[in-house]
Amino acid sequence: MKTMKFAFAGVLACALFAGINTQSESHAAGGLKPAPATKGARKTFTIGMSQCNLGEPYRVQMNKDIEAAAAKHPELKIIYRDAQNRSETQQSQMREFVQQRVNLILVSPKEARPLTRPIAEAMDAGIPVIVLDRKITGDKYTCFIGGDNVKIGREAGKYMAQLLGGKGNIIEIQGLGTSSPAKERHDGFMDGIKGSQIKILESVDCQWMEPNAQREMASALSRFPKIDAVYGQNDPSAHGAYQAAKQEGKGREKQIKFIGIDSLPNEGIRYVKDGVLNATFQYPTGGADAIDNALKILNGQKVPKNIILGTRRFTKDNVAKGGTPL
Amino acid sequence: MAGEATEHARQNRWEQLSQYRGLLAFVAVFILGCLYTPHAVDTGRSIFLSWRTQLDILYEYCEYGLLATGMTLVILAAGIDLSVGSVLGCSATLFAVLTVGYGWHIPEAIAVTLLFGMGVGALNGFLIARFRMQPFVVTLATMTAARGLAKLISGGIKVAPAAKEWYKLQDNTPPFFSWMSQSLPHLGMKPAALIFLVSILIMAVLVARSTFGRNLYAIGGNEEAAVLSGIAVHRAKIIAYSLCAGFAALAGIINACRQDIGDPEAGVGFELDAIAAVVIGGTSLAGGRGGMLFTLVGVLIIAYINKILSLNAVAIAPRMIIQAAIILVAVLIQRQKRS
């Protein structure tokens, strides 16, 4: 029995050692007041960053963008947390940041309502909070930075009309129909193609997933003899549609135009370079903007309450030059 | 804790001592927490050792704790309840629909939600006791059904103010929702955590001192013998399952308040955490041995380990492996005791 007890403690200790050694020296910053320091050029700041999950490539990219932007500012130390897609976990991460007295919190919320209160509590504790990508309810945050899905959808629609010369039959592959980005990307797109003779043959819900998109597109191909273009609400679904057309074996993937959204380096951008997609529209992660504004806040400057980011269009001609800002 | 020992188990000194294994493990975890803790950026104080962290741990684990409380009753009688996670989600949704959607008063909504939970539990208990169906199968079925029911009553959405046009509340959730997760004056503890502590202590007394409690041990130890000695086995089982699902409903109400939303997907997988807490505490899955205070220790062990891992920002991969190792070691110790 005694040996068992020691074994228990031993396993715990080893496991914790192993786990703890994996993280950086991010807690090492010291000797600071949480309040914004005035003109403290040589001071260090600790920033807590809570990401709602690291399963989606977009969110991994956001963290990368933050890391890249922060690397230019040696005075910043960032503690990264992954909430593993659980609001409960993200709530406790907010509380832990407050306890650690970080100088600023970045948060990319999983869900608006559950996080509203913990973020308000951090604000009450005097810690500024920058909310990324998804808004919370109310206005108790320092700054929100996010993309504009309606605008992105509209730009995609306008480009689609241009690409097809104002008329044609298209398939829309939606994200998760009940989610707000899917609705906004749809509404924007409809606005963008207004006045043209583009007809949406079918609008299918693929829940943002490439395999679903591929399956739905395969059935659409068998039903409709003439499809001129596909509007995928994210790049993987446009790519899935392309694959379905290619696998059909009639060479229709060469005639059909494909447009996607998000423009992540390893997805949309690569697909455009490879000639799979005709265009992709960027949904910005806001990572670099988050660091810019964090620095302003930490140095006592004012920042706008809501920062809506623009988008970029990537096509084969401009992808090497970093796309066209819209 | 010695008072909760079963009459079947021979009470030699060694075994009395081994009753405190759980506590020792908890102390070991606590010491590790003290050793590995981040420090506040400004004051440099240990974050793990702060009173606030201790209260946060209780608060963050109160839902699991309530599920484990009910689960202990069922497991003591050699049963299992897989439906608690779904009942939690369904109750959270129901409570939110009643208050936010239909604008009911809080006490009525709580009463109906708890009754709903106990009804599901009574159905579990009835099917298991009356028709001698396997608890695993029966509660697997109710687990699926309750999740479906949650989606049905919410209409497939998360229940929040203004989520639908006909909802009575369009601006905000009732003040009760935020009350649940705000520290009580003087105590510093949040109502959600307090509800868990009070519940488990009441159940500890019930299990250790009442006829109902003794009957659970007797059924779990040897059901045939319990029947022969005239114990109302059916009734005890139905009550145990009702209480178990009742606590799940209570956890569901707390979940809706904490998340400020009635989420039909709430509590997915929670049943496994609850079972793990019971087992780590030292209650035998075979029934008849263990106790409510063991479960309290089990909940605290899991809660503290997770908090320590979270405070130190341990990545998810090593974290999952550590959790698995802890469960295995705890069960290993249990087996050791048997031989």
Whole-number pLDDT of residue A20: 41
A163, part of any domain: yes
A136, part of any domain: yes
For residue A225, give the 3-state DSSP assignment.
coil
Angle value at C-alpha B240, between B144 and B6, nearest 5 degrees: 130
Q: Are A80 and B42 within 8 A, CB to CB?
A: no
- Do A163 and A214 sit in the same domain of this protein? yes
Whole-number pLDDT of residue B14: 61
Give the pLDDT band of residue A42 (cuts 50, 70, 90): low
A2, part of any domain: no
Domain region containing A212: 149-283
Lowest mean pLDDT among A150-164, B95-109, B160-174, B244-258: B160-174
Chain A residue whose CA is closest to B181 = A117
CA A225 to chain centre: 36
- Token code pair at residue B17: 């001592």
Percent of residues, chain A, with pLDDT higher than 70 = 87
Residues 6+ apart with CB under 8 A from A281: A152, A155, A156, A159, A259, A260, A261, A262, A263, A311, A312, A313, A314, A326
Q: Is the pLDDT of residue A14 over 80?
A: no
Q: Is the pLDDT of residue A38 over 60?
A: no
For residue A147, give the 3-state DSSP assignment.
coil
Lowest mean pLDDT among A36-45, A84-93, B157-166: A36-45
- Do A47 and A129 sit in the same domain of this protein? yes
Chain A residue whose CA is closest to B317 = A19
Whole-number pLDDT of residue A23: 39
Whole-number pLDDT of residue A3: 47
Q: Is the pLDDT of residue A2 over 50?
A: no
State the DSSP code for A269: I
- Do A95 and A201 sit in the same domain of this protein? no
Whole-number pLDDT of residue A305: 95
Whole-number pLDDT of residue A217: 93
Whole-number pLDDT of residue B10: 52
- Do A235 and A189 sit in the same domain of this protein? yes
Q: Give residues 38 to 57 of A whose Cβ lies within 8 Å of B.
A: 46
Per residue in B285-310, pLDDT (tens digit) is 899 999 999 999 999 999 999 888 88
Q: Is the pLDDT of residue B49 over 50?
A: yes
Q: What is the DSSP string of A152-185?
A: HHHHHHHHHHHHTTTEEEEEEEES-TTSHHHHHH
- Do A232 and A297 sit in the same domain of this protein? no
Q: Are A95 and B56 within 8 A, CB to CB?
A: yes
Q: Are A114 and B261 within 8 A, CB to CB?
A: yes
A25, part of any domain: no
Question: Which residue, among B15, B17, B21, B42, would best test binding to A if mutated, counting the most A CBs under 10 Å from its CB?
Answer: B42
- Token code pair at residue B212: 């109902």
Whole-number pLDDT of residue B21: 75
Mean pLDDT, residues B269-281 taken together: 92
- Token code pair at residue A233: 């609400």
Whole-number pLDDT of residue B182: 87
How many structural domains comprise chain A?
2
| Nearest residue to A95 via CA among A110, A115, A111 | A115
Enumerate long-range contacts of A265-274, CB under 8 Å, 24 or more apart.
Answer: A265/A61, A266/A57, A267/A57, A267/A235, A267/A236, A267/A239, A268/A235, A268/A314, A269/A314, A269/A319, A271/A235, A271/A238, A271/A239, A271/A242, A272/A314, A272/A315, A272/A316, A272/A319, A273/A316, A273/A319
- Do A243 and A156 sit in the same domain of this protein? yes
Residues 6+ apart with CB under 8 A from A105: A47, A48, A49, A50, A94, A97, A119, A122, A127, A128, A129, A130
| Nearest residue to A227 via CA among A189, A199, A186, A193 | A199
- Do A108 and A204 sit in the same domain of this protein? no
Give the pLDDT band of residue A4 (cuts 50, 70, 90): very low
- Do A109 and A207 sit in the same domain of this protein? no
Lowest mean pLDDT among A2-16, A42-56, A156-170, B58-72: A2-16
Strand order across the beta sheet in which A279-282 lies: A197-205, A167-174, A229-232, A257-262, A279-282, A312-314, A324-325
- Do A106 and A83 sit in the same domain of this protein? yes
Per residue in B277-291, pLDDT (tens digit) is 999 888 988 999 999
State the DSSP code for A268: I
Q: What is the mean pLDDT of chain A?
A: 87
Whether the Cβ atoms of residue B70 and residue B81 lie closer than 8 Å to each other: yes
Whole-angstrom Cα distance, residue A289 to residue A305? 13
A203, part of any domain: yes
- Do A273 and A301 sit in the same domain of this protein? no
Lowest mean pLDDT among A37-41, A110-114, B36-40, B76-80: A37-41
Answer positive or negative: Cα dihedral of A50, A56, A60, A61. negative
Mean pLDDT, residues A256-281 taken together: 94
User: Chain B residues with CB inside 8 Å of A99's CB?
Assistant: 40, 47, 50, 52-53
Q: Is the pLDDT of residue A33 over 70?
A: no
ipTM value: 0.76
Give the pLDDT band of residue A208 (cuts 50, 70, 90): confident
Residue ranges and CATH numbers for the domains of chain B are 47-338 (1.10.3470)
Whole-number pLDDT of residue B9: 52
Whole-number pLDDT of residue A21: 40
A95, part of any domain: yes
Whole-number pLDDT of residue B309: 87
Give the pLDDT band of residue B124 (cuts 50, 70, 90): very high
Chain B residue whose CA is closest to A115 = B259
A17, part of any domain: no
Chain B contact present for A4, CB below 8 A = yes
Q: Is the pLDDT of residue B146 over 90?
A: yes
Q: Give residues 144 to 183 of A whose Cβ lies within 8 Å of B.
A: 178
- Do A195 and A48 sit in the same domain of this protein? no
The 3-class secondary structure across chain B, one letter per residue, is CHHHCCCCCCCCHHHHHHCCHHHHHHHHHHHHHHHCCCECCCCCCECCCCHHHHHHHHHHCHHHHHHHHHHHHHHHCCCCCCCHHHHHHHHHHHHHHHHHHCCCCHHHHHHHHHHHHHHHHHHHHHHHHHCCCCHHHHHHHHHHHHHHHHHHHHCCCCECCCCCCCCCCCCCCCHHHHHHCCCCCCCCCCHHHHHHHHHHHHHHHHHHHCHHHHHHHHHHHCHHHHHHCCCCHHHHHHHHHHHHHHHHHHHHHHHHHHHCCECCCCCCCHHHHHHHHHHHHCCCCCCCCCCHHHHHHHHHHHHHHHHHHHHCCCCHHHHHHHHHHHHHHHHHHHHHHHC
A4, part of any domain: no
Whether the Cβ atoms of residue B301 and residue B21 lie closer than 8 Å to each other: no
For residue A102, what is the domain's CATH number?
3.40.50.2300
Q: Is the pLDDT of residue B172 over 80?
A: yes
Instruction: Check residues B308 and B9 and name the one with the higher pLDDT.
Output: B308
- Do A143 and A160 sit in the same domain of this protein? no
- Token code pair at residue A40: 């403290």
Mean pLDDT, residues B261-272 taken together: 92
Q: Are A22 and B315 within 8 A, CB to CB?
A: yes
Candidates B261, B308, B316; nearest CB to A113 = B261
Whole-angstrom Cα distance, residue A217 to residue A201? 12
Nearest Cα of chain B lies from the Cα of A179 at a distance, in angstroms, of 10
Candidates B14, B25, B158; nearest CB to A8 = B25
